Amino acid sequence: MAERSGACAVVALSVRAPCRLAAQREAQLPPAARRRGAARQLRVRADAGTAAAGDVAASTVLRPRKTDISDANFPVDSEGRTYHLGTRRGEVANRILSVGSEKRALMLAEYLQPPAPGRGLFMLESSRGFLTITGRYLDVPLSIIVTHMGLANADFVVRESRAVVDGEMAFIRLGTCGALQPPARLGSLVVADPGAILIRRNPDAFGPEGEALGLPPYTFSQPIPSDPVLSLALQLEAARLLGPEGVCSGLNATADSFYCSQGRRTAWFDDRNENLLADLLTHQPSTVTLEMETAQLLDLARCSRGSIRASAGVIVLADRQSNDFLGAERIEQLERLAGQACLAALARTQLEDAWGAHNGSGTPVWHHC
């Protein structure tokens, strides 16, 4: 089914349509549209018998086609859709759960109610692979956005969501991490409270001049604070679902790489990171977790002129001291429980989020009857 809105055609595909149907629909599109990419099939692992899972299965995934872009400073298309996420005003809620993978997003979308009666969840996937799902949790409008991995993708999601949302916003990141020391332990959810630091590889240290000057190969920022109210709300909700022993808090370290900046070593590259984890704990002895996105989220919230509140909860998949790794079945159990804790914390957070005029974009999807 192709819907036309303004100057931009939007391809809509039922989530439960089989791959063959997706291929047939793609074949019916004009060659130019096929080259831009038609709607991609999304497989949903839904628990049969739950109403929310049915809402996911009955939803359609919209995929806007590329149109001409205006404003090289902050690119948007003729419908006001952002360059990477592809969303426009009224499609993203003020409360956002950021997750790293499509699988996790679709799993947690099972717990959302439709944004308005008689409708499926709002689901949109951009040409860059960012999936946005908007519905309600505890009757509060809320979006789940697939952020993928790394600092740049976190930057896209926060900045482009901020650009299409009126009023105050709240972000929680639900991710995974490695544990550096207690109280973080395998299988626990660690809330980034008091915040996070950023680890960056220093390219200047690897050249002749940097070597002569003795520049450090990695740099560490000072702590970037998380929102204390949102962090406490997340801890309380997680303790309710996981038990008090299943959640703790501590300082997070965000690295600009999965490998070199997290102290992983191979013989193929000169990374000079043999002492990185020890140096990190010398710089910030209270650091307990290591991952790749949280500091960027918190830094943008800090610089948002008071318009964004942010925190993060990360599930410990790996123990960086013992090299143990959590089993796949337990990971999914924790993702579901921790995800519901994040949704509840967001829904129960009070925001100044009244929506005004939408510059011709219409009312938000959660206001539709």
- Binned average pLDDT, 10 residues per bin, the chain of 369 residues: 40 42 43 41 37 67 82 89 93 97 96 89 94 96 97 97 96 98 97 98 97 97 98 98 97 98 96 97 98 98 97 97 93 97 97 63 69
User: From CA 218, how far away is CA 332, in angstroms rounded?
Assistant: 34
Q: Where do the domains of the chain lie? A: 62-351
Encoded tokens for 336: 């579901």
pLDDT value of position 14: 47
**Sequence-separated (6 or more) residues with CB below 8 Å from residue 66:** 36, 77, 127
Cα-based angle 1, 9, 119 (whole degrees, multiple of 5): 50
Question: Token digits for 171?
Answer: 């972000």
What does DSSP assign to residue 43?
-
Looking at residue 274, its pLDDT comes to 96
How far, CA to CA in Å, does 37 sit from each of 31, 34, 75, 275? Answer: 10, 5, 20, 46
Query: Any idea which residue has 């924790």 for tokens?
Result: 334
pTM above 0.75, yes or no: yes
Distance CA 176, CA 315 (A): 5
pLDDT of 71 reads: 85
Return the CATH class of domain 62-351: alpha beta
By the 8 A CB rule, do 25 and 69 touch?
no
Q: Which phi and psi angles does 55 have, rounded to 5°?
A: -65, -40
